[in-house]
Structures are given as C-alpha cells and as structure tokens.
Amino acid sequence: MNPNAKIFVTGHRGMVGSALVRQLNAEGYQRIITRSRDQLDLLSQTAVTEFLATEQPDYVFIAAAKVGGIQANNQYRADFLYQNLMIEANLIHGAHLAGVQRLMFLGSSCIYPRDCAQPIKEEYLLTGPLEQTNEPYAIAKIAGIKLAESYNRQYGREYISVMPTNLYGPNDNYDLANSHVLPALLRKAHEAKLRGDSEYVVWGSGTPRREFLYVDDLADACVYLMKQGYAGPLLNVGTGEDVTIRELAETVMDIVGFEGRIVFDSTKPDGTPRKLLDVSKLAALGWRARTSLRDGIRLAYDSAPFRA
C-alpha cells in the first residue's frame, strides 16, 4: 500500500475496526477515513454509494457487521441475516461503482459446515450443513464472500475475503446477553470474584474446542495481506491451536484471580463441537499470530470496561 493511500475502515468503533485503525496508524498511514453510524448509514444503498463516490478511497476494509454470541444469533435471526447482507452488498457494490480496486471483506469461521473435518481448510466452504444457531449470520457472510469473488471474476477487481477465528481484545462486547464466550467468561469471573461467590456458571458442557485470536494480530494480518498485494481466494486467519471451553474457563479464572469452581449449565447449547482453522495457506505467505492465548486474555482483561 502506498503510504499516502486513502483508506476507508468501516466499523471503526468495533473491536476489529478499531484494531485495524490502530495497526494502520502504527504503520504510518495517515489518510484513514472513518464514519460513525450516525454519520453514515451502511444499511442505505444511496448513502453508501454517494459517500464512496465522493471520498474515492484507494482501499476499503469491511469490518462493519451486526455480531453477537449464540443467544443473540439464535434470537435475532432475521436481523442478523438482513443487516449483514445489506451492509456488505452496499459497500462492495458501492466500492465497485466508485472504482475501488482493492477491498477486504472480513467474515467469520462460522461460515464452515458444522461437522466438517478438522482443522478446517478454506475449500471446505459449502460442503455441508451449517450450525443452526448462527445459520443466518453464516449465510450472510458466505454471500459476502461470493459477492467479492463475483466482482473479481466479472469486473477484474481485487476484493479479498479473510475468515478470522474467534476474536477477542480491546473494544470487545461484554454484554452478557449478546457477547461471545471469552468476554462473557471474563466478565462472569470478575463479577463472581467481586461478590465473593464460590462458583460461576459456564454455558454448555465445557467439551467443545475453540480457537482464539487476539484482535490486534488479526489487524496485523489484514494490513500485511493488503501490503503484500494478495489477491487470491478466501484465507483463514487464526493461530492453528485450540482449547476446550473448560480449559478456557480455567485460564480466565487464573488471570482474573477467581478461586471458586466452575459449574457447567448443560441445558444451554454447546454450538459446533470444534472449530479449528487450517492456517497453512496464510503461513505460507509469511504471516503467523504472535500473541499467546494467556497473554492476550491478560491484555483483554486489563482493558475491559467493566473494570473501570
């Protein structure tokens, strides 16, 4: 990327978007465009098209999305499908109309079949049924991947899609009704410690395995790929290592300093049994994650808003 390039980062107040802005700033890029939801409604095709035509960015990072954990995905299925479809369609089509050649679409590892072989290779996309609890969100993200691919094929664009594993870090969502597993565990353990509880409840059986990536590592990978000029197919971004939910909960307890015991609520859903990404293609391009899970959780806990 040219140091003077004009870069539009959507969702800059969210966990991924804010990490991208931090990374770009750290690497000396100064012409970074951001807009809040109040300033630009990404659900409006007219507003997005006019904005991109006026601003004429050189690069676009699509980090804006409606996101949430198992409960939110399952409860607000129409909202997750509709809003994510609109956001990505408006941005990808609007970027094309504005003549933007380089764009990155950020998806999610939930795009892959629920029971596919592990670790998950990029070519496993669309080879089996999805996890039902987040199927609408996954379908929206798959549509975004295929939309980017189609603009490349039909119009010669260089729109790439990256699929991060489970993310955590600064600006994560710690609302217990809508958050993902790691931030939820951090807040539960912290509040249990403050109350002096003897136990804290973890959803499910504790046996599913999950991979976690510190969000600043994701941002580093995204900027690295743009700088390298990567224009190939879908790429996984992760650590290549996973842990059980029980192991995750125990690590969280240790970092928070909660000395009670874990109680698993088996009436709550486990979700997909395992989601470990095969990151060999990204490794072959010269990038690997640098932040260990324990170090990342410590950084996330230190910056968590509920500690203020």
Pairing label, strands 32-33, 243-244 = unpaired
CA 244 to chain centre: 20
8 Å CB contact between 209 and 242: yes
Mind giving me the DSSP string for 29-89? Answer: ---EE---TTT--TT-HHHHHHHHHHH--SEEEE-------HHHHHHSHHHHHHHHHHHHH
Nearest by Cα to 226 from 106, 119, 307: 106
Is 230 marked active-site?
A: no
Q: Per the residue annotation, which of 137, 151, 174, 230 is the catalytic one?
A: 137
Cα torsion 126, 130, 136, 139 to 10°: value is: -10
How big is the chain, counted in residues? 308
CA distance readout (Å), 195 to 192, 199, 200: 5, 10, 11
Annotated catalytic residues are 137
